[in-house]
Chain A
Amino acid sequence: MDHRYTRQTQLKDFGPEGQQKLANSKVLVVGLGGLGLPVLQYLNAMGVGTLGLMDQDVVELHNLQRQVLYTEKDLGRLKLEVAHETLQSQNSTTHFKLHDTFLTRENALETIKQYDLVVDATDNFPTRYLINDACVILDKPFVYGALHGFEGHVSVFNYKNGPTYRCLYPNMPRPEEVPNCNENGVLGVVPGIIGTLQALEAVKLLTGVGEVLSGKLLLFDGLAQQFSKIGFKRNPLHSKVEALQDSYDPLDCSTVATITAEDFQSILGEDTMLLDVRTPDEFNENHLKEAINVPMDQLMVPKPVKSEKIYVICQSGQRSETAAVQLQKQYPDSTFISVLGGMNKMMTLIFP
């Protein structure tokens, strides 16, 4: 008699054993964007027992061309919630763990420890290096996927003592070297292809079926419709990680004070000095009433400082961090504090 997974358990090389292994597996997917969604949809459909979802962003209009799980009705909602609802209705037998946060130096080891495998579906270098280092420390494999325009990379790192991300790219590039998707753009279907390949590698790794893409970097060129593979080895110089770095901030080793959105909400008052560094358009769309708009290209403290602490906010917490670093250099007598998660997070607190 046919059951839910018949079409894959009837495969000689996969069988009921493969299915059982998937059911027993725990996979963390970091990032619920263009890569993470196809990974999750397939791992969930195929019967991976426990899936961890991690993201703190909300669904935005410009996500919809590639993040095809989300609909127009979901705009402004937390990706974590929307993805969870859809995946739950796709497979009610999966156990979901929700991580309403970004991966940070503080939570990485504790979180990754709970899983057998991590899928790197992030969109930035700091988190990719953090995933690598945490996985090496905890001896967990991770499936890597990354995009650039019409191209994509896939590999499996730290699998059975195989090479790591740092064996290919020892050090994190500076932010100005390599643009991200927001600056460079990505063709909607490409993350679907790369994410689906990541899901395949995850399933192979978990079940032992086939040959895991370890020690090989798969390069996909969507324009030429061409795949190529590059072999590489574990490099003892770069593959050894004893502890996480003090900071994964790529900004020339500068660090800046931060505050969680929850804590910020509790101290927010008339005397709070808050600089909103988004563009005037973004600011006009929504802002906190205490905020003064100081766009990134005109960073300055616009009025006499009443308090020693000056808070900086943007949409997601990235630009505010950059801004706080710059402002701290300009005004060393004040303390600049970046609001983690930015307006995205604040809006979910104010309008739950």
Chain B
Amino acid sequence: MTILLFGIAKDIVGSPTLSVPTSSVTGKKIPKTVGELKTFLSGTYPELNKLSSMAVAVNHNYAEDHEVINSYDEIALIPPVSGG
């Protein structure tokens, strides 16, 4: 599962995309919802956890935490930006 990163999320991870394993070879629980994905990512990148307001898009649509994700979905993390 590939995740596109924007704004401060891109800066935190240090790359514009991020790959999340979709099989359980790593022994970690595989995220099945948007909320689980957030928890999964904040395990690897604790800085992401600090973002109190972060939009997640699944297949180009805003998604709430309870929404189910699949390995073929295109996911984007879009934290708010403030510059002007």
Contact = CB atoms under 8 A, between A and B. Distances in A.
B40 interface: no
B58 to A, nearest CB: 10
A177 B51 CA distance: 6
A217 interface: yes
A170 B53 contact: yes
A178 B8 contact: yes
Interface in A209-236: 217, 219, 221, 223-224, 228-233
Given A168-B55, A217-B78, A219-B6, A147 B84 contact: yes
Interface in A145-176: 145-149, 151-153, 167-174, 176
Interface string A118-136: 0001111100100000000
Q: How large is the interface on B (under 10, 10 to 19, 20 to 34, 35 or more residues)?
A: 20 to 34
A231 B60 CA distance: 6
A172 to B, nearest CB: 7
Interface residues of A, number: 47
Contacts of A18: none
B69 interface: no
A31 B84 contact: yes
A78 B7 CA distance: 31
A34 interface: yes
Interface string B24-68: 000000000000000000000000001111010100111000000
B82 A146 contact: yes
A34 B78 CA distance: 22
Interface stretch (A6-14, A179-187, A263-271, A293-301): A179-187
A159 to B, nearest CB: 17
A228 B83 CA distance: 19
Nearest to A146: B81
B80 interface: yes
Nearest to A165: B80
Contacts of B53: 169-173
Contacts of B60: 228-231
Contacts of A217: 55, 62, 78
Nearest to B58: A230
Given A169-B55, A173-B53, A178 B81 contact: yes
Contacts of B76: 228, 230
Contacts of A145: 84
A143 interface: no
B55 to A, nearest CB: 5
A33 interface: yes
B62 A168 contact: yes
B16 interface: yes
Nearest to A173: B53
B6 A178 contact: no
27 contacts: A34-B84, A36-B84, A123-B83, A124-B82, A128-B82, A146-B81, A147-B81, A148-B81, A149-B11, A153-B81, A167-B62, A169-B80, A174-B52, A177-B8, A177-B79, A179-B8, A181-B83, A181-B84, A191-B84, A217-B62, A219-B6, A221-B6, A223-B16, A230-B57, A230-B78, A231-B60, A232-B61
Interface of B: 4, 6-8, 10-11, 16, 50-53, 55, 57, 60-62, 76, 78-84
Top-10 shortest CB links A-B: A232-B62, A123-B84, A147-B83, A148-B81, A181-B83, A169-B53, A230-B57, A148-B7, A169-B80, A231-B61
